[in-house]
């Protein structure tokens, strides 16, 4: 890599200054504000600000609803990540074969990523909806079981999982496709000559060689499903039935935005901040070093 040397000592600082300023104003300042607010009981209009120390956190961790929400988020994130990656890898392998119309398939498979989470949620809503959805309608021919997710927690959870997997699918696929294309064909051919079948080749060569991609996608999907799924939940289930799909990020929004309990909500976002810092640290620490060919 070519190393750039600046003659002027201040020029580099001036050049990065806008970026630093934006980061400070749009990332650090709000983060600091929520950190500060999490220690207060605050009125919506800001006329009352009562210091409560760690009171909000104490209330948070003593709240059974919050612990249920945390559990639901963990289950949701892991399922979305594993199902999402497995599916993307499978289809990427298929789309990596030499078949006619390959470009078209690949483009079509990437499409879902261009859809906003809320829209993805609405699309699945139309498929799943107990009264006007096509799926319950078709199922009514084969079973009398009622898939009313307004009342069945696990169906509601399955629904937002499907929507989230779908939403992330194109992104995962793109990375896997790129990863697959980086694998030398000669290695695969050599294995074929040695008599390894398609499945053997996949597990002995493809999968290990793709491990950096998988690791990267793992952290990325975990982050996505922890923090970026607000739109899906809001559009489809609003956290219900009961609080079955009230994920952490949704609960923080609801308590703060609808409930106007600002300090309590800030404490929740501080917890979420800690989680994302951990995930990022994990990513930086292990991504480049431990997972290699």
Partner 1 sequence: MRRTLKSWTSAWAVTVLAVLLALPSPALAKTEIQWWHALQATLGERVNEIAAKFNASQGEYEVKAVFKGSYPEAMNGAIAAYRAKQPPHIVQVYEVGTQTMLSSGAVYPVYQLMKDNGLAIDWNDLIGPVKSYYSQGGNLYSMAFNSSTPILYYNKDLFKKAGLPDKPPATWGEVEAMAKKIVASGGKCGFSAAWPSWTLVENMHGWHDQPFADHANGFDGLATRLQINGPFGVKMMELLQRGVKEGWFTYNGRLNKAESNMSAGECAIFLSSSAYMGNLGRAAEGKFTWGTGHLPRLAGYPQGNSIIGGATLWVMKGAKPEEYKGVAQFFKYLASTENQAWWATVTGYLPISNAAVKAMEASGVYAKNPNLKTSVTQMMTGKSTPNSQGLRLGNFPSVRDAVEEQMENIFNGSKTAKQGMDDAVAKGNDILKEFAALYK
Tell me which residues touch partner 1 (CB under 8 A): 18-19, 22-23, 26, 41-48, 50, 65, 130-132, 148, 150-153, 238, 240-243, 254-255, 257-261, 264
Provide the minimum distance between the beta carbon of 173 and partner 1 in the complex, in angstroms, as a whole number. Answer: 16
Query: For 14, how many CA atoms within 13 A lie in the half-sphere containing its CB?
Result: 5
Beta carbons of 82 and 90 less than 8 angstroms apart:
no
Provide the minimum distance between the beta carbon of 249 and partner 1 in the complex, in angstroms, as a whole number. Answer: 16
- Is the Cβ of residue 82 or residue 132 nearer to partner 1 in the bound state? 132
Those residues whose C-beta lies under 8 Å from the C-beta of residue 156, and which sit 6 or more positions away, are 149, 150, 236, 237, 240, 241, 244, 245
Provide the minimum distance between the beta carbon of 108 and partner 1 in the complex, in angstroms, as a whole number. Answer: 23
- Is the Cβ of residue 62 or residue 195 nearer to partner 1 in the bound state? 62
Provide the minimum distance between the beta carbon of 238 and partner 1 in the complex, in angstroms, as a whole number. Answer: 6
Provide the minimum distance between the beta carbon of 199 and partner 1 in the complex, in angstroms, as a whole number. Answer: 33
Integer Cα distance of 8 and 27 in angstroms: 29
CA dist 85 → 17, 170, 216 (Å): 38, 11, 11
- Is the Cβ of residue 42 or residue 88 nearer to partner 1 in the bound state? 42
- Is the Cβ of residue 75 or residue 94 nearer to partner 1 in the bound state? 75
Provide the minimum distance between the beta carbon of 45 and partner 1 in the complex, in angstroms, as a whole number. Answer: 4
Q: Which of 175, 181, 170 is nearest to 97 (CA)?
A: 181
Give me 76's structure tokens. Answer: 């949701």
To 5 degrees, how large is the angle CA 135–CA 165–CA 100? 90
- Is the Cβ of residue 206 or residue 222 nearer to partner 1 in the bound state? 222
- Is the Cβ of residue 232 or residue 255 nearer to partner 1 in the bound state? 255
- Is the Cβ of residue 43 or residue 96 nearer to partner 1 in the bound state? 43
Provide the minimum distance between the beta carbon of 63 and partner 1 in the complex, in angstroms, as a whole number. Answer: 8
Integer Cα distance of 94 and 109 in angstroms: 11
86 three-state secondary structure: helix
Q: What are the φ and ψ backbone dihedral angles of 42, each rounded to 5 degrees?
A: -120, 140
Integer Cα distance of 64 and 60 in angstroms: 9
């Amino acid at each position: 890599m070519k190393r750039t040397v600046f003659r002027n000592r201040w020029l580099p600082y001036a050049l990065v200054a806008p970026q630093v300023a934006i980061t400070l104003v749009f990332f650090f300042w709000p983060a600091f504000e929520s950190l500060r607010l999490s220690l207060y009981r605050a009125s919506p209009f800001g006329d009352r600000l009562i210091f409560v120390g760690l009171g909000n956190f104490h209330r948070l961790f003593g709240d059974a609803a919050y612990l249920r929400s945390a559990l639901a988020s963990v289950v949701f994130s892991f399922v979305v990540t594993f199902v999402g990656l497995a599916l993307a890898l499978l289809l990427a392998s298929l789309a990596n074969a030499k078949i006619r119309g390959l470009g078209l398939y690949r483009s079509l498979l990437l499409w879902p990523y261009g859809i906003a989470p809320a829209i993805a949620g609405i699309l699945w809503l139309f498929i799943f909806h107990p009264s006007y959805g096509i799926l319950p309608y078709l199922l009514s021919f084969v079973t009398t079981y009622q898939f009313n997710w307004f009342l069945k927690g696990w169906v509601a959870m399955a629904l937002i999982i499907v929507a989230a997997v779908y939403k992330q699918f194109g992104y995962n696929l793109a990375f896997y496709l790129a990863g697959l294309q980086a694998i030398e064909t000669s290695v695969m051919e050599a294995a074929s000559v040695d008599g390894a079948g398609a499945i053997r080749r996949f597990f002995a060569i493809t999968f290990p060689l793709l491990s950096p991609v998988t690791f990267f996608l793992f952290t990325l999907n975990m982050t996505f499903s922890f923090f970026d799924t607000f739109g899906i939940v809001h559009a489809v289930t609003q956290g219900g039935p009961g609080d079955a799909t009230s994920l952490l990020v949704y609960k923080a929004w609801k308590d703060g935005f609808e409930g106007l309990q600002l300090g309590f909500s800030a404490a929740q976002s501080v917890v979420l901040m800690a989680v994302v810092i951990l995930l990022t640290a994990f990513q930086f620490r292990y991504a480049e070093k431990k997972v290699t060919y």
